[in-house]
Amino acid sequence: MNNSLKYSLTSTKKENIIPIEFINYDNFYNFFENQNTLTKQWITNFDFIADEHSYCIIYNKDGIEKKILIGIGNKIIKNINLFSLGFSKNYLKNNFIYKFINIDSSKIIKILTLNWMLDGYYFDKYQNNINISINPKLFIPSNIKNYVYNISSSISLTRDLINTPANEMMPQHIFKVIYDISKKYNAQCSQIVGDELDNNNFSTINIVGKASINQPRLIELLWGNQSNPLITLVGKGVCFDSGGLNIKSTNKIRYMKKDMGGAAHVIGLANMIMSTKLPIRLRLLVPAVENSISNNSYRPGDIIKTRAGINIEVDNTDAEGRIILSEVLYDACNEKPELVVDFATLTGAARYALGSELPAFYSNNDKIADSLQNISKLNDDPIWKMPLYEEYKPLIKSDIAHIVNSYTLNSIPMGGSITAALFLEYFIHNNVNWVHFDITGWNFHTKPSRPKGGEAQGIRVVYDYLKSTYT
């Protein structure tokens, strides 16, 4: 994959390191009064008063950069968040080395270092004629360097996968990505392709994906010691979603390259787990398809028989994600893992309810859900717990099969994210703990450390949960 992280880290001491100092409202005026005349002049020139995401470059009398001041508004240093550096491309220079100077907490240094790496993300794979030469370095202790690099490169991988256009990110390309990762970490990787899916009782994947010339497949990765607790990750890999015969409108189809965002998330999360050697046994499952249109497309009204013995009536071919996830989740539970986590760009309803920046999540275990919600607040990776409201189950009951894959009332979708989660819950068995994330996987505009385009949502939360639970 493309290396889209343009900033880097160093633990080698060199001369002329430029300090970065964080200033809030409370200490600004005392700080200002204690500076020399030249420094005061630069602060005045930049109109710097410590507003959040503001900055000031202090030069010496020879015009050489001496220090960077970063405003954090009304925050205090110990509560600095992941986005405190602001738009760092405005003030960092190529090949300069920087260092945080008024931070003594290892935890805060980790947060800011991750902030640094994510703010240096730039997806330039298709802009070879544009010279993106900025490569500032941050000096940090070596024990933090490796950890942050593993986390940031995993997030970058997720972003890159989503940003890559569909003509270069079809099911076979996703397999290549997972295969390459498996070799890197000495994991096992396999796939079931095309009509072999029917022979292996994964017909839902083939039914949804067979209309495309890019053959559908189920991709599996296995890693870790057999004696460690089994954690299974499942990701929706719809590489492009036309909507099938219920074809999407022009404005909705534009960004459907991101409909494999669930797969991108679990691939990035798996990379985090393996690169930091968490003591778990990992199983990664990605059903990868293109939801296309052809003479053999599946149709509204079709009945799909699943390996779970649950028959699905197709109400809408644009609700394909839950269909391809159904049998995979059922199979995931067969091994009785300690936890199954799935990520999917599943419904527009979750976006209508919570917006694009706050992913909905569901769980059949309140204790796990509460832990995830608490971790989310601590590490600036927002998620929001939603209810598996049992009273809505009759809404997805089929008249002629067991369940229907989409629900509308008088042509108006109602509770669509909840009913989609309840649909998936039908395939969770063996009393397995399960968490489902209904994500956007996309930033529609640029914010600090969150550039427009593909985004990783919730995977740091799950990683920290696994790390705290199993280490």
The pLDDT of residue 6 is 92
Annotated catalytic residue 283: no
pLDDT > 70? residue 51:
yes
Annotated catalytic residue 248: yes
Per residue in 103-146, pLDDT (tens digit) is 888 889 999 999 999 999 999 999 876 655 678 999 998 889 99
pLDDT > 80? residue 1:
no
Predicted structure pTM score = 0.96
Lowest mean pLDDT: which of 116-125, 139-148, 408-417, 444-453? 408-417
The pLDDT of residue 132 is 59
Domains plus CATH for the chain? 8-140 (3.40.220.10), 151-470 (3.40.630.10)
The pLDDT of residue 130 is 62
- HEC string of the chain equals CCCCECCEEECCCCCCCEEEEEECHHHHHHHHHCCCHHHHHHHHHCCCCCCCCCEEEEECCCCCEEEEEEECCCCCHHHCCCCCCCCHHHCCCCCCEEEECCCCCHHHHHHHHHHHHHHCECCCCCCCCCCCCCCCEEECCHHHHHHHHHHHHHHHHHHHHHHCCHHHCCHHHHHHHHHHHHHHCCCEEEEEECCHHHHCCCHHHHHHHCCCCCCCEEEEEEECCCCCCEEEEEECEEEEECCCCCCCCHHHHCCHHHHHHHHHHHHHHHHHHHHCCCCCEEEEEEEEEEECCCCCCCCCCCEEECCCCCEEECCCCCCCHHHHHHHHHHHHHHCCCCEEEEEECCCHHHHHHHCCCCCEEEECCHHHHHHHHHHHHHCCCCCEECCCCHHHHHHHECCCCCEECCCEECCEECCHHHHHHHHHHCCCCCCCCEEEEECCCEECCCECCECCEECCCCHHHHHHHHHHHHC
Given the residues 137, 322, 351, 450, the one annotated as active site: 322
Given the residues 66, 110, 145, 248, the one annotated as active site: 248
The stretch 78-96 carries a mean pLDDT of 89
